[in-house]
């Protein structure tokens, strides 16, 4: 029979709160990392990227943190809005881009 | 700006039929990628091209799948013959350079094989 589908981690926050989405990557040789947002019926949308020679990078309302020692990425969203509700994927690049499993963010009004 | 354009948006076909998915990458992008997304496996890389040349097709499930990039502005992913387990959303993405710039995705083709 069919195996069960992916069980996405879920994060539920109140509108206006800050959100932190975490991701563990697998390849210590990966040198470029990207966060994507995917809304229902759409393709993944680029949010922010960071290279391995950096620990932190800020965009508009978003910050990405990279901890190479423990192979961990996080995405911080400030003042989360209902429009931020989506699935968020981290991705690592070492010759090719590999996606993580994704986190479902739900913003409650 | 025109993003990555995929067609069709939806495709419903019967098992055994040939299916062709199409992609127009962003102009000036040198790399093109085909991904498949399912609930079971998430986003899987099928194949990618750099300067129209296939670089890695190790993600292509089996010989029923083939992809071509005859020029810098067009790529196809073909499944022949299609099977119900091929049902998924297929995404095309492109990037300016290979390996160090973000991929930009189309909105996908939802394929249903009955």
Q: Which of A6, A31, A43 comes nearest B42 by C-beta?
A: A6
Nearest Cα residue to B110 out of B3, B8, B16: B8
Inform me whether the C-beta atom of residue B56 falls under 8 Å from chain A C-beta atoms.
yes
Q: Mind listing the pLDDT tens digit for each residue in A29-82?
A: 999 999 999 999 999 999 999 999 999 999 999 999 999 999 999 999 999 999
Tokens (6 digits) for B47: 């194949």
Residues 6+ apart with CB under 8 A from A43: B4, B91, B93, B105, B106, B107, B108
d(CA B71, CA B2): 18
Q: What are the beta bridge partners of residue B68?
A: B76
Contact residues on chain A for B43, CB-CB shorter than 8 A: 44, 89, 99
Residue B62: pLDDT band (50, 70, 90) is confident
Cβ of A97 within 8 Å of Cβ of B40? The answer is no
């Amino acid at each position: 029979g069919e195996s069960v589908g992916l069980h996405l981690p879920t994060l539920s926050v109140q509108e206006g709160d800050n959100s932190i989405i975490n991701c563990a990557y697998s390849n210590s040789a990966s040198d470029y990392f990207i966060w994507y947002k995917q809304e229902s019926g759409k393709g993944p949308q680029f949010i922010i990227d960071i290279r391995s020679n950096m620990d932190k990078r800020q965009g508009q309302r978003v910050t990405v943190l990279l901890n190479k020692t423990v192979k961990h990425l996080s995405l911080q969203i400030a003042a989360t809005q209902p429009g931020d509700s989506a699935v968020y994927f981290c991705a690592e690049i070492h010759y090719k881009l590999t996606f993580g499993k994704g986190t479902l963010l739900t913003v409650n009004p | 700006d025109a993003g990555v354009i995929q067609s069709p948006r939806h495709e419903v076909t019967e098992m055994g039929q040939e299916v062709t998915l199409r992609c127009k990458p962003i102009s000036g992008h040198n790399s093109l990628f085909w991904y498949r997304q399912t609930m079971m496996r998430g986003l899987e890389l099928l194949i990618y091209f750099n300067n129209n040349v296939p670089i890695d097709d190790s993600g292509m499930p089996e010989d029923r799948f083939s992809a071509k990039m005859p020029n810098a502005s067009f790529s196809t992913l073909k499944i022949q013959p299609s099977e119900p387990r091929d049902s998924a959303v297929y995404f095309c993405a492109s990037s300016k350079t290979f390996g160090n710039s973000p991929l930009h995705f189309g909105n996908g083709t939802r394929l249903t094989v009955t």
